[in-house]
Every structure is written in structure tokens, then in C-alpha cells.
Structure 1
């Protein structure tokens, strides 16, 4: 049985029990769980050989949450107007019928620009500025604004180019200056060389799971296949991609984040309000937070098939975890990681994994019981 390390606050012993139960049934345990309630850290747990609370994991799409926070800050500053066309900030984006698409529609995954004909190279996917230049001239895969679908590998580069055009700085630089450094977050969009020793390489699915995953995988020429760059030659290998130092160094906002559960949970705690001991108020004002946490696109996601998948950028967490408030916002990561903030309960939650989970793209299955235990404890 895997040994569990860390601490929980009084009243959160049930969370420790649930985490221990999850670790006990994992063939290759290696995970972290952290949570805050109204800015106070109440859960800090980890398990697995070679894993500590400080270990850094490849967290893939978890970085999208950081990207949306940066955009929200610039909306709050008055530098970005959600209802202006993207092309007003980024003229080259107007090519191939994208001239009228608004920033709001872009963040809502309504651009139809989920990939590129022929696929994207690893070098393009690793560098948001290079990727943005490639995408500006690409044709959408559906008429912009008429439907929505998960822009899995590209939304960070698209939003990031808007950020760069209005600030003169990359999204990664703004995140570092406005979010990560001031709030002391162990969650990076661009991992410094001196932090590399803490990185724990991501591991693939267990051998017995790989055949099942292959049989369930999308066709390369489907919208999901294109969104995950499976139509490229060669198709993108997510394990090799995240384990490449170049990717971690550049920190592409869609798929290149690196961090731990402590860092992710603290980021969402800061988005909600004052973090104990930080001496800083919330990142977002109530009106801006409300703007980004109301439903934006209804119906089926054309890429994933998920219903009512997004708020404004952020994933609608109440769709996956009905015990959360309707405005709970956050983002999952391909290894089964999950992170969110729930304004109704004041909970900020993060779970990270070392190994891919079967079907974990929407957050590994154990997040249901772990998140429910945190919410129940907070309510008590």
C-alpha cells in the first residue's frame, strides 16, 4: 500500500482517508492533492515513490486556466474589449474569413481554428509565437462563431497573441509578473532551468490500458483527431512532448504547464480572494470574475462531444462535478489532473498525477470522490 504524506486541517480527515484509498488501488501511485478554503490551505497531501509535495509535474492543459486569468486581468485593466474583433488587435488573424470573430468568441472556443491542414510540428506546438503566426493564415474547420469545439493545442497561442499585441509582452511574461511571482505559485508557464531537478517525468498509460486507449481513440481526420494533432506526420506523442526540456522551457500555454498541486490550488485561491499570509487581495474584481464564470457556449462541443463544456475560456466544472456551484471554474490536464475554484464554497482544489489516466483528459475518475470529500469537509 502506498504511504500518504502531508497534512490536513482539522475537519478534513475524511479527505486524507479518500486520498489514501485512491493511492492504495493505484498500480503506480504518484499524485498530489491540495486545497484551500477561503484562502486558507486545508489539504496538502502526496503519495508515490519519488514524489514529494514539492515535485513538479507536467500538467498540460492546466495552463489554460493561467492563460484565461491573464486575459481576464487585461480585460479588468481595460486593455482588451471582449466584444471587439480579434483582428482589431491582431490584423493578420483576419485571413480566411476570421475577420469578424470577437475575443469573446475566441475564448469560447468558437473560432473553428482547432489545428492546421497537414498538422503541426513539435517545434510549432512548443512555441506560442511561432504557432500564432502559422494559425493566423489558416482556414477554420467550421464557420467562425457558428459552433464551439475544444481548441486543445492552440487556444493558449491564440489568446497569447492578443495579449502580446496589447501589452508588447508574451502571455508567459505577463503571467510571471502579474500572477506567478507575486503570489508565490509553484506553477509555471516556462520552467526555469534551476527548477529542473524537481521535475518528475510523466509516464504513459499502464501496458494493460494502452490497447483500450487505442481502440477508443479518435480517427486522425476527425475534428478531435485534428484538435489533438493526430493527423500530423508523425502524430503528437503527449508523453514525449511534455518530457522534452524545450517544451518545459518555453511553456506553451495550451499544453506546456509544469507545477504541483500546491501551486495550482494557490492560483485558484488567489483568483477567489485573499490568500492567508500573502498580503494581497483577489486577482479579479467581482464583475470581471462574474463575466468569466457565466455559461457562454451551450450544446455539444464539436470536438469532444461534451455538453455545455465551457464558461468563458474556463471549463464549466459543475458539469463534471454536480456538487459544485454553477460558476465553478477551472481546467483539467491530460494526465488526469484537475483544478478549479468554487465561489459558492470558497474552495480552491488541485489534483496532479505522474502517470496518464485512462480517459483522464477530463480529469481522472478519482477527482469525483476527492473533490466531493473536500467540498463536504468545507461545508462542515
Structure 2
């Protein structure tokens, strides 16, 4: 039976109990962390492993939330325009109907560029500029703008190339200067060598996942055609635990950090009711509006995406319509809920059944937090 360490403010004792039940449950992760802010104040900061207070681990697609917070800020500044064709900023992004796709359509996972014929090497997957160069000439896997599907390894390489072409700087550079650096956030695109001693490796699922069929859209999006991919669990663990990946910090799947760092980022995004957040109310409404009521061609989910962020209220009805965030492959879940002032991050080291936001304890933790917040 794992003990729980850390802070739960008055009124949040039920969250501590829910977290203890989660880490000791049948699919629990004894290295998990949970952090929650309400109106800018840290109200929950819990960990289970005795040495877990300052640990960081691979957060996979949690990175997409940080990457698209940068994009939202650049749209808010007027530097980027949602309804401008991507090809006007990035001329090589053309052919096969790509030249008509807008930044809005790209952020909504509508480009059809979910992968490339033959797959990517691990080194390519870690390097957003190399990914973007290969994708620019790739024939999409459906006509751009006509459907949507999860661009698992590549969405932030695509949106990131738009950022580079428009500003001369990478998403990572904008994130470091405007978001992480000023706040000292424990959430990195590119883990510095000086922080490596805190890294705890990701652990594989209890049972092998196997290989996703390469001739499906799911297989294309998850790189199944690549010769180095046999079991997908082993591949994902190898990718994240590589120092090369951690050093480059790809924006789609290469974030490294702690629950405390991710929750603090989302708290900064929405502000504390007195100090304005990084995003205005109008920007939040624009970026959290669901884009497609249909089915995600890659994951089979419905109502999956807003602009760059996953729709959170669809998974967790307790949350407001303007909630936004992104899950990570191990079962990590993180979001902001402007209506309640809650910023939430639950981080796992071990792969959960269902992956992404599918860890079975997520719903119970969200419910406990929202009950306490009320």
C-alpha cells in the first residue's frame, strides 16, 4: 500500500483520498503525481513515490497543449491568422489540395498529413523541422479539410513550421521566452542536461500492445509502417526514454516535466481572476470551440478536437464548455477550466490501459477535484 505525500488544501481532502485510491488501484501507478491550482493558488500537490516530489518524466502528447498555447498567443497577438492558407506562409506546403488548407483547418487535425509512406525513423520523429520537411511533399491520406483525424506525432511539427515561417523562431523558443522561463515552470520542450538527474524513465504497459496494422489510418498516424516499430508499447517507451528525444523536445510527443509544472502552465493560461491570464476570454472561446462533431478517422473518438487542444467537457461533463487541455500516452491528463478557475494535471510514469486520457482513474480524480472546487 503506497502512502501519499504532499499538499491538499482545506476542502481538498477528498482529492487526497481519490489519489491514494488511484495509485493503489488495479491499474494504479505508484510513481504518479497530481497537481491542481484554483484561481492561481496551488491547492493540490501530491505524489506517491517517496522520491517523487521533484521527479520529471516523459509526458508525450501533453506537449501539444503547450505548443498550441503558443499558437493561440500568436493568433491573439495578430501575428498569425486562423483563416489564412498555410501555403501563404509556408509555400512548400502545397499540392494535393494542401494549398487550400487554413491554419484553422490544420489546428483541427484536418490536413490528412498524419504520417508518410514508409514511416519515420526515431530520429526524424524527434526533430520537428525534419518532420515538417518530409510532410510538406507528402500526399495526404484524405482530402485536406474534408475530415479530421489525430495527427499523433506530427501536428506540432506542422503548426510549428507555420510559426517558424511567420516569426523566424520555433515554438520551443516562444514557449521558453514567454511561458516557461518567466515562471520557472517544471515542464520542458527539450530537457536541459542539468535536469537529467531528475528524469524517471517511462515504464511499458503490463502486457504487450502489439503492432497496429500499418495499412490503416491508425497505423499511419502511429508510425506502424516504420521497420523499427514492432510492439507499439516498446516503441513508445524507447522513443520517450531516448536522451536524443528529450534533448530536442518535439512539440507533438516530446514534453518532459511534472504535474506541478503542467498545472502551473494551465493556471497561467487562464489567470487568477485578478491577474489576467496568457489568453483573453475571446481567445479561449475561439480556441476551445469544438471544430468537428463527427468521428476522428484515426482514434474513432467523437467531438475530439477544438483548435490544437482536446475538447475536455466531452470526456468530463463536470467541466465548463471552454475547458481545454491535452492528454498524454501513459494516461496523463491535464487541462484548464476557466469557469471554475481550475488547472489540473495528473501525470503517470507507467502506461495505463487505454492510454491517452483513458486511464480509468482520470474520471474519478476530475470528479473529486471539481466537487472540492465547488
TM-score class, shorter: over 0.9
1:112-158: CA deviations, max 9, x gaps?
Answer: 00000111111111000111111101010000000000000000100
Aligned to 1:311: 306
1:296: Cα distance to partner? Answer: 1.0
1:290: Cα distance to partner? Answer: 1.2
TM-score normalised to structure 2 length: 0.96
Q: Which whole-Å CA distance do the structure 1 matches of 2:144 and 2:302 have between them?
A: 19
Aligned to 1:364: 359
Q: Which whole-Å CA distance do the structure 2 matches of 1:241 and 1:182 have between them?
A: 29
Task: Specify the SS of the correspondent of 1:91.
Answer: coil
Q: Which whole-Å CA distance do the structure 1 matches of 2:80 and 2:182 have between them?
A: 22
Match among 235, 257, 260 for residue 259 of structure 1? 257
Q: Which whole-Å CA distance do the structure 1 matches of 2:358 and 2:90 have between them?
A: 33
Task: Specify the SS of the correspondent of 2:23.
Answer: helix
Aligned to 2:268: 270
Cα contact 1:205–1:356 (8 A) shared by 2: yes
1:286: Cα distance to partner? Answer: 1.4
Cα contact 2:329–2:356 (8 A) shared by 1: yes
Aligned to 1:43: 44
Q: Which whole-Å CA distance do the structure 2 matches of 1:289 and 1:40 have between them?
A: 20
Q: Output aligned runs, 1:1-380, within 5 Å.
A: 1-26=1-26, 29-48=30-49, 50=51, 52-206=52-206, 209-210=207-208, 213-214=209-210, 218-235=212-229, 237-274=235-272, 281-379=276-374
1:218: Cα distance to partner? Answer: 3.5
1:320: Cα distance to partner? Answer: 1.0
TM-score normalised to structure 1 length: 0.94
Q: Which whole-Å CA distance do the structure 2 matches of 1:184 and 1:12 have between them?
A: 26
1:325: Cα distance to partner? Answer: 1.2
Cα contact 1:336–1:361 (8 A) shared by 2: yes
Pairs aligned (count) = 369
Task: Specify the SS of the correspondent of 2:113.
Answer: coil
1:252-278: CA deviations, max 9, x gaps?
Answer: 0000000000001011111111499xx
Cα contact 1:96–1:137 (8 A) shared by 2: no
Cα contact 1:308–1:319 (8 A) shared by 2: yes
Q: Which whole-Å CA distance do the structure 2 matches of 1:145 and 1:59 have between them?
A: 29
Q: Which whole-Å CA distance do the structure 1 matches of 2:117 and 2:355 have between them?
A: 27
Q: Which whole-Å CA distance do the structure 1 matches of 2:204 and 2:90 have between them?
A: 38
Cα contact 2:37–2:267 (8 A) shared by 1: yes
Q: What runs of 5+ residues in structure 1 fail to find an aligned partner?
A: none
Q: Which whole-Å CA distance do the structure 2 matches of 1:229 and 1:131 have between them?
A: 12
Cα contact 2:107–2:155 (8 A) shared by 1: yes
Any runs of at least 4 consecutive aligned residues in structure 1 with deviations exceeding 4 A, and if so which? none
1:240: Cα distance to partner? Answer: 0.3
1:61: Cα distance to partner? Answer: 0.1
Cα contact 1:272–1:283 (8 A) shared by 2: yes
Cα contact 2:85–2:102 (8 A) shared by 1: yes
1:53: Cα distance to partner? Answer: 2.2
Task: Specify the SS of the correspondent of 1:370.
Answer: helix
Task: Specify the SS of the correspondent of 2:215.
Answer: coil
Q: Which whole-Å CA distance do the structure 2 matches of 1:259 and 1:359 have between them?
A: 22
1:49: Cα distance to partner? Answer: 5.3
